[in-house]
Structures are given as C-alpha cells and as structure tokens.
Amino acid sequence: MKRFNVDLKGDVKKFENLAINAKDSIELAMLDIGLMVQNQAKLNAPFAKGTLRRSISTDFSKIKKGIVIVWSPVAYARRREYENYKNPDKKHYLERAYKENKAKIENIIEKALNIKLK
C-alpha cells in the first residue's frame, strides 16, 4: 500500500486566519451589544438628578474571555434595579434593557458569525 504525503500548510494558514477574523468579529459584536444595552439602560433608569443614568457604563476589560459588563458604580444602582417604591415602572431597568433589544442582539450575533440562529 502506498502512502501519500499531503502538504496542508497553506490550508492550515487559512484556518488560522479564519479563527482570527472570527474572534475579531465576535469582539466587535460584543462591543455593539454592550453599548446598545448601556444606552437602553440609561433610558430605562429612574431619573431624579440624573446621577444613576450618567453613571451607567460598560466594562470591556474581559472581552477576550467573552464577558461584557454593563454596570453602575453608584451605591444605590442595585437597589433601583430590584426595588423602587417611588417609580415601580422603572424597576429592572438593566434587565429590561437587555430584553428590549434581544432581537437586535440576535441579529448582531448572526451577522458576526454569518449564521442563522433559528
């Protein structure tokens, strides 16, 4: 039986480039999603003096691990997320920001990966 040696160096390089491009595409999609949720959370947040709205930001420091954090350093931000007796319609402002943009988020992911999710 004869053995054939196949040189795949060129093809392996293409796969490496594909992986790099996919990683970059996913990171850009995560940036878009994080900023979209951040902006919607600012619109949804309760407003008295505007401190909470101004403080909502996005942390991209862990994006290489696939993590994007939308948060606020304001001491009462968590309380306003889960309880708000004065403005109950403003409760869950951060969670709603994600849910309200779910279709757009799925669209961004589909475009980034060039696949159909459903």
Q: How far apart are the first and last CA of the chain?
A: 47
3-state secondary structure of 71: strand
pLDDT of residue 7: 65
Tens digit of each residue's pLDDT (9 = 90 or more) over 96-110: 999 999 999 999 988
Residue 18 or residue 27, greater confidence: 27
For the CA atoms of 61, 62, 63, 66, the dihedral, rounded to the nearest 10 degrees, stands at: -170
Q: CA 14 to CA 73: how far, in whole Å?
A: 44
Confidence (pTM) = 0.79
Contact 105, 36 (CB under 8 A): yes
Residue 117 or residue 64, greater confidence: 64
Quick one: what percent of the chain has pLDDT higher than 70? 82
